[in-house]
Amino acid sequence: MELHQLRCFVAVAEELHFGRAATRLHMTQPPLSRQIQLLEHTLGVLLLERNNRQARLTLAGQSFLEDARRILQIAESASQSARRIAHGEAGRLTLGFTAVGAYSMIPRLLVHAGQTLPDIELVLSERVSSTQVHDLEAGLIDVGLVRQVLPSARVEYLPIHREPFIAALPAVHALAARERLRPSDFDDQPFVMYSANEGRYFHDRIANLFARHEVQPRYLHQLGQTHSILGLVNVGLGCAVVPASAQALRLEQVVFRPLVGMEQQAEIFLAFCRDNPNPVLGAFVAMARKFFEAG
């Protein structure tokens, strides 16, 4: 049983006339009649009763018509899906991201992607930047939102976002009364720092800031994730310096203040392998670039 035979049968069944069905299918009547005969032979049943002027569906033909239409619809849908996937208009893409990106950036990007690329399924995978680069090279993720540009012959990095660092303080801290802070304000203050391992990107920038200004906070704890650091600030265990996007967490006992004197900003790069064969990658990268350029 072939799809062409089903199309011929549906046309005749809907027209109930071989001549009109042949015209509709842009073919002559003898080949059309032959296709119907082959289909009936394959099924072993009579689908149409014919005479010189018209055709009439048998009971078996009436039942088979609904199934034939359904099969043709499924076949057409499968063809369209295959073409869309091949052209990068549909498919599946795994997106890596850091925890800070999930506070506001990732939700906004997902909403936009759902509107502009509705047939691309996004699978989210939270992991630190160094792991993302490794997983990009291993093919475990398709694209990543990373903080660090790590050496790689295959990974391409596109800068997409920059944000300032800000001070995070317990609401009851004396420094919380000031409108803005300087690095020197943290000298000898209890401080919750990023870990030199799990939070290396932020650790190095904040440590360099304090070194340039000859500031020595009292480091009480060193943690890898921004939300964990703010959790300690929230209960009054110390101050912290975090990227501005952390304000989206809105902890009750944490206040944020601008930080004057820190020229460095926290950057985010869109990272992907140039040789990734996933056909939807190009469409996603183009969409993401326009999204972040628009602000």
Asked whether residue 172 falls in the same domain as residue 149, the answer is: no
Tokens 């600030």 locate to: 233
CATH number (domain holding residue 203): 3.40.190.10
Report the chain's mean pLDDT, rounded to a whole number: 90
pLDDT at 89: 63
Please give the model's pTM, rounded to 2 decimal places.
0.64
Asked whether residue 272 falls in the same domain as residue 157, the answer is: yes
Asked whether residue 139 falls in the same domain as residue 172, the answer is: no
Asked whether residue 95 falls in the same domain as residue 147, the answer is: yes
Number of structural domains in the chain: 3
| pLDDT tens track for 52-96 | 668 899 999 999 999 999 999 888 877 766 766 666 567 889 999
Q: Is 88 exposed, middle or buried (0-12, 13-18, 19+ CB in 10 A)?
A: middle
* DSSP at 160: E
Point out the domain boundary residue: 86, 115, 138.
86
Asked whether residue 273 falls in the same domain as residue 154, the answer is: yes
Distance CA 281, CA 276 (A): 8
Asked whether residue 14 falls in the same domain as residue 47, the answer is: yes
As a whole-number percent, the residues of the chain with pLDDT over 70 amount to 95
pLDDT at 123: 92
Asked whether residue 272 falls in the same domain as residue 289, the answer is: yes
pLDDT at 102: 66
Nearest partner of 122 among 102, 147, 142, 101, judged by Cα: 142
pLDDT at 233: 97
Asked whether residue 98 falls in the same domain as residue 223, the answer is: no
Tokens 């990227």 locate to: 243
Expressed as residue numbers, the domain containing 114 is 91-162+267-293
Nearest partner of 271 among 92, 120, 97, judged by Cα: 97
| pLDDT tens track for 261-286 | 888 888 899 999 989 989 899 999 99
Point out the domain boundary residue: 34, 52, 86.
86
The model's confidence at residue 4, banded by pLDDT at 50, 70 and 90, is: very high
Asked whether residue 129 falls in the same domain as residue 271, the answer is: yes
- Please check whether residue 183 is in contact with residue 215, taking contact to mean a CB–CB distance below 8 angstroms: yes
| pLDDT tens track for 165-182 | 999 999 999 999 999 999
Nearest partner of 160 among 105, 99, 104, 103, judged by Cα: 105
